[in-house]
Each structure stands twice: as structure tokens, then as C-alpha cells.
Structure 1
Amino acid sequence: MMKRILVVEDEPDMQSGIKDNLEFEGYDVDTASDGKEGLQKILTDSFDLVLLDVMLPHISGFDVCKKVRLENNNTPIIFLTAKGEEIDKVIGLESGGDDYLTKPFSLRELLARVKAVLRRTEMQNPSATNHEMQVGRLKVDFSTYTAWVDGEQVKMTSKEFEILQYLLKHKNATISRDSLLDNVWGYDFQPTARTIDNFILKLRHKIEDNPNEPQIIITVHGMGYRLVHS
């Protein structure tokens, strides 16, 4: 089936250029020219991927992403921006983005990122991890990306699900921060240590009886993390 991609970009030449090249590669492409229109389309239609500019009229790309994730919509999002500072990358990833592409970028790089994110999405096959799993206080369903803590449904970002799924696939093994970055985000970007640590902290608050004394997601000092699970 043809993959559907939404391009949310306010620069007309950039928007049409991306659209034309993606269509040439065989994708079904829709567009939006501001954050408000983009948000509405993401929440009311079905896409396999969103290319989301950060600096948009009405609503910024970061805020669009946050609002989408608050609606439990896990459509993969690649941020497009002229900014290249590390803090912007951290904000983008922590707001729920899946990848980050800095302008100006080549067509080859854009297509590589699109294919990589779509491939990772396809690989998140629930058969690779049981549909429903209990991890400490947290129950997760990887087929629907839903989660519950003590019977109450809770919101989790797509990255929280993906990190947990990766740790479960390598349970009882020590996983480095670099390994999490390479296999969850899928490209060579070195964040501050707190980027990965913040996601782990969020998971611990859902999983552990006492997040300050974790018994399930253990820190292996100087190396990374280990998920202890039978």
C-alpha cells in the first residue's frame, strides 16, 4: 500500500519541492501551510509520516507535536528546521518527535530519513514483543500503543514505548545510551546525557514502586541501563 505523508511547511517553494520529490518516489503526499492546518489534518486524517517544520504560523511545530501526542496519536514526526543548535534537537525529541532534519538538507538525506523512520515503524511489529506485557506497575499494549498504571490508563509518548520495547527485547542485558539512540532514533545525534535519562525517568515513574530506588530499570554506572524482567 502507498505510504501517506503530510508535509507541514509554510515556505511555498520548499513545500512544493518536498511534495514533488516524495511523489516521484511513490508516496501519497498531502500538505499544510501553517501549524493550525497541520494539526487539524494530523488529528482528523491518517498518515504514515509527518514532515513538520518548526517555525510555522499560528502554532509552532513543537507545539503541534505536543498537542498530537496528548491525543495519543503516535504518527511518526520528522522535524524540519533551519536551527541546528543542540538544545533545539533536545526539545524536538522530548516533545515527541521521531527524527530531526536541519535545513538546508539534500534530497538524498531527506529520503534516507523518511525511509528509515517508515522502516522503524514497520519493524515495531507487536509479534516481536507480546501484545500486552506487565512491567512492574505498568501494563502496555504494543499493538495499540496504550498503557495503564494500576488499572488507570496513562499517556506515553511514542519514544517511551519504543525505548521500553527495545529494553524488553534486550531484557537483563546492559544497554548503553548510544545503543538506545542508534536503535530508537536511528541516526547519529549525540544528545546531552539528560535526554535519554529524562525518558528513563518518565518510564520509572510509571513502572517502579519507588522511582528513586529503581528495581526494574537499573542504572549501570558508566555504561547505561538494564531492564530486569523475568
Structure 2
Amino acid sequence: MCANVIVAEDDAKQAELVRRYLEREGHAVTLVSDGLSALEQARQGAPDLLVLDVMMPRADGLDVVRVLRAEGRELAVLMLTARATEDDLLLGLDLGADDYMTKPYSPRELMARVRTLLRRTRRDSGPEQTHVLRVGSLAVDPVRHEVAVEGTGVECTPGEFRLLSAMAAEPERVFTREQLLAELHGFDRYISSRTVDVHIMNLRKKIEREPRRPTRLLTVFGVGYKLMDPLKGSHVPAR
């Protein structure tokens, strides 16, 4: 599973360590040491993954991921940071990061996260998924990596798309947060289940007419979430 990976890290020793581990697994790696260079590289090529440090000169990692998602770029983003609070984690995910690791971290764990992200990204666009998933007027195309509501395209981050695809494949099924978290990150004990809540909140802003009164992406209190055809489901308030 060779991939084109950008590593944006201003610590030269840390960047070199990550590069060696990535190249050992056959990936092509581009190193940059500041946020603006990370943006330039992401725009010039067609990277599969951006390993992005939060604290960098010229533009920090949060600004980088904010700009990339605003431009509709769908590469996977794994953020690295010395900030370990849950609020920092949720902010990164809210802006469109797909995964988040705090420093110091094990290079072996980093590579496991990279493999999971790449595997799920490739699965989303794999040839085995050939049909558009429809739930009422919501359409999810796993091949083209496109989402539309009532015929209007909706931009989703890779993490949001994976979560929405899983739910669209089984409409009306109630997914627990743990099941949805597994769709996003595999069986990862280091990420809070609140990660799912952030993705759900962001998806509601994109696919609901009134995100505070959802009719598609519903909360099942005490259990999790389900995706419904608004014409079939009853209103369930979001929490």
C-alpha cells in the first residue's frame, strides 16, 4: 500500500525519524518544516496523507487543515501535537483532521495509525463499492467520494465521509459511538468517543436543513446515532 505522504514537522530529528519509518514501508515522503510549505506541497501534488505537526512556524497545523478543508482537498490528515487536552483534540477533529496523536508517541503506533488511515481511505474508493448509497434525498457515492443532498453536492472530510458511508449502508440501524469510532479509527483506545459527536455535529451542519432539529441524522438517547429518510422517521432532538 504505497502512498505519497507529506510530513510537516519543524523538529528536524523528529521529521527524519518519521521519514525513515514511512520509507521503510514503501511510502514516498516529502518533508517540510513550516505550515505554508505544507500548504504548497498539498496543493501542488496529489498526496494521500499529511502528517501534520500543530506547532509550526509561518502557519500552524490548525490553520493548515482549516485551509485545506475549505479548499475541498480530501487527503487524510494525521495531526501531531504536544497539546494533550480533549479540547485541543476536538478542535483538530472539528477542523477536519482524521486522527490525532499526542507527543511523545511511539513510531510503531504512528505507523499503525498511518496504515489504518490509508487502508480506510483506499477502501472508500475501492472497486468493490460500485453503487451509490441512498437514504431519501441523501446520496453517498463511495467510488467518486461524493455526497449530495437533494442534488446539491456537500463537501465532507475523509473522516466524515467514512462515518456517513457506514451509516448510509445500513439506514435506520442504530450505531453506538464505539461502532462508529471503529469505522473512523479502528479499535483505538486513545481517542475519546466524543470524537464521534464532533463528526456528527459537523455532518448535521452539512446535511440537515436545521442542524439543531435534525431529521436525517438522529440521536438515539443512551445508545448512539442512526441515519433516516426524513419522510419515514420522526423528529428526535439532538443533544
Give the TM-score taking structure 2 as reference length: 0.84
Aligned to 2:236: none
Aligned to 1:68: 68
Q: Cα distance 1:177–1:27, how it changes in 2: closer, same or farther (>3 A)?
A: same
Aligned-CA RMSD value = 2.4
**How far apart are 1:210 and its partner, in Å?**
5.0
State yes or no: 1:114 paired with 2:114.
yes
Q: Matched residues in 1 for 2:80 and 2:191: separation? A: 18
Q: Deviations over 1:16-64 (max 9, x none)?
A: 1211222122221111110000011011101121110000111111110
Aligned to 1:145: 145
Kindly provide the amino acid, as one letter, of the partner of residue 11 in structure 1. D
**How many residue pairs get matched?**
229
Greater shift, 131-140 or 17-26, is seen at 131-140
Check conservation: 1:129, 1:165, Cα contact below 8 A. Answer: no
Aligned to 1:53: 53
Aligned to 2:218: 218
Q: Deviations over 1:142-184 (max 9, x none)?
A: 3233333344333222222111111122322211112211221
**How far apart are 1:196 and its partner, in Å?**
2.9
Kindly provide the amino acid, as one letter, of the partner of residue 188 in structure 1. R
Kindly provide the amino acid, as one letter, of the partner of residue 50 in structure 2. V
Identity of aligned residues (%): 36
**Structure 2 unmatched runs, 5+:** 233-239
**Structure 1 unmatched runs, 5+:** none
Aligned to 1:36: 36
Give the TM-score taking structure 1 as reference length: 0.87
Find the residue that maps to 2:192 and give its secondary structure.
Answer: coil
Matches within 5 A, 1:150-189: 150-186=150-186, 187-189=188-190
Find the residue that maps to 1:72 and give its secondary structure.
Answer: coil
State yes or no: 1:103 paired with 2:103.
yes
**How far apart are 1:10 and its partner, in Å?**
0.6
Greater shift, 150-159 or 34-43, is seen at 150-159
Check conservation: 1:137, 1:208, Cα contact below 8 A. Answer: no
State yes or no: 1:21 paired with 2:21.
yes
Check conservation: 1:5, 1:30, Cα contact below 8 A. Answer: yes
Q: Cα distance 1:9–1:228, how it changes in 2: closer, same or farther (>3 A)?
A: same
Find the residue that maps to 1:218 and give its secondary structure.
Answer: strand
**How far apart are 1:65 and its partner, in Å?**
0.7
**How far apart are 1:213 and its partner, in Å?**
4.4
